[in-house]
Amino acid sequence: MTPDELKALIRTIPDFPKPGILFRDVTTLIGNGAGLAAAVELLADRARAAGAQAIAGIEARGFIFGAAVAAHLGIGFVPVRKPGKLPVPVLAIDYALEYGTDTLEVDPDAIGDGQRVVLIDDLLATGGTALAALELARRAGGVVEAALFLVDLPDLGGAERLRAAGVTVEAVMAFEGH
């Protein structure tokens, strides 16, 4: 399937989670076997080209795409978790949300020193969560120079923020607007 065909599988829900927002719901793509397989293949091609030795996926939908890409490439998967989900001492980072803060955590032993890690998530908006995950992976010893997304919302500036942090950013598709 082409990126345009995949884009047609993504449902847009107006005014969610608040008025004026167009929510891009990838669950309709995930529910389509051919669409999911094609999305994973496109992301895997980009991860391979970036020299990935491991994939770091951001909870929750980054787990779906990231784990599938890692399995497709035969490399390890590093879950970037919400707080309190890992049973070992963790590296943690707080980051800003639109209204408040949140925290991400990673097992510091999940990434080897100098290991080339590619970050994957389903959607890139403002980039705050991806920047936090990037920082965690780097603190754990990973070399993170690429971040991949199924969807980019370029009007929200996340890709520029990641590029300013020294990361190449690619997305399978983009949706203009919020």
Half-sphere exposure of 155 (CA within 13 A, CB side): 6
CA trace torsion 116, 121, 122, 123 (10° rounding):
-110
Closest by Cα among 59, 9, 58 to 175: 9
Active site residue 46: no
Q: How many CB atoms lie within 10 A of CB 12?
A: 12
Active site residue 59: no
| SS3 state of residue 138 | helix
Options 61, 135, 138, 145, the catalytic residue: 61
Q: How many CB atoms lie within 10 A of CB 85?
A: 10
Half-sphere exposure of 66 (CA within 13 A, CB side): 28
Residues identified as active-site: 61, 98
